[in-house]
Structure 1
């Protein structure tokens, strides 16, 4: 029986020309989206999107700038690659260093990769000053990413094991405690469970289950695949 977890676990294909290495994990936004905040009557609309290449980033910037062509400013920043291989920031008419760079730093502090953000400002008539602008543009990015959601993309190992029906609740409790989602279950003579784990967590998981079930469990390795895993707002800075 398939669980809704597969709606969250997506197979990732890395396109040729991307700056991301297939053997690395990284954080990015869950999906494209927008968020608006109002500060002293000025509207700050953050539009944020995944971008695997500079070309994709620039196309998104052009699209949003056209959408909000009547705005006072369409500032932007992007970071492409695991090591910020390609970055760019623009103040688009705001005082130098008060918009694009704060936006880029916000992305980098959140450790987000392959992301482009355009923050559109409709001036409300009250000047914010340099410090106020820096905080406004930075917070626009952070709040947009937090609202949309952050995911970790990485290579995971499928692990398959079976447990007796009368031990399933114990195992399920353990999985919930460790925030390990069940990818699939099959109810036969025993309950067969499939999970995906980061490779560095595999041995500890096997040791824990072996101890919990007094050695009455065997593990089978399945496929390796690139998955996207939800990251909570409370701990994504620790990833």
Structure 2
């Protein structure tokens, strides 16, 4: 069985941490491209133009295979990499974390900086989870069923009920010579769909299976 895909974020969250009078402002945002991540970093820098450091960690790609970090003037290895490690441990992708630091006049040392930057990002992730903003990613298959117009309403109702019970998503139908009813179906449920559709239509209708897609969904309760 393949490993679950990394999770992602629905929208941006913020978290503040104060350590020995230094303020660490964590901003965690979705970003599916490097340019989108760079735009998030630029916006944070503009908002907090008077801060000394804006440290960054980003993870991108379906399998979290593109990663980057920056210490932005902090001692090497004390900010960006620890932040990145939190994102890895939380199995997140297509996100960028920016932690802005306002120096409070007390030196924290390398270990203190590592703990502070890590905790700031971990706090932002926890905030996102509390607000149900962390999304699971699932692989599904595009599926369509072509039905005569006379049967379209009944089959559409059948597929909607079936989808609700089997973790599928109903797409927008198309109406031409026939009604094309679209679904996104978990691969493990394809055989069940074939069997249930055949039973409900006396074998007259069959599902056609298309390409794989990745979708973001709220985690199951």
TM-score, with length taken from structure 2:
0.64
- Give unpaired runs (5+ residues) of structure 1: 1-24
Q: How many residues align?
A: 206
Pair 1:218 & 2:205 matched: yes
Distance 1:194 1:135 in 2: 44
SS at match of 2:72: coil
- Within-5 A mapping of 1:50-65: 50-53=31-34, 57-58=37-38, 60-65=40-45
Partner of 1:160: 145
- Give unpaired runs (5+ residues) of structure 2: none
Alpha-carbon distance, 1:52 to partner? 2.8
CA contact (8 A) 2:145 2:182 kept: yes
Distance 2:62 2:174 in 1: 38
SS at match of 1:184: coil
Partner of 1:109: 89
Distance 2:117 2:43 in 1: 24
SS at match of 1:176: helix
Partner of 1:138: 122
1:194 to 177, 182, 193: 182
2:193 to 197, 205, 212: 205
Partner of 1:175: 163
**Greater Cα radius of gyration, structure 1 or 2:** 2
Pair 1:36 & 2:21 matched: no
SS at match of 2:26: strand
Distance 1:153 1:81 in 2: 14
CA contact (8 A) 2:16 2:120 kept: no
Flag the structure with more relative contact order, 1 or 2, with Cα contacts below 8 A and sequence separation at least 6: 1
Distance 1:166 1:115 in 2: 42
CA RMSD of aligned residues (A): 4.3
- Within-5 A mapping of 1:6-45: 27=6, 29=8, 33-40=11-18, 42=23, 44-45=25-26
Partner of 1:20: none
Alpha-carbon distance, 1:225 to partner? 6.7
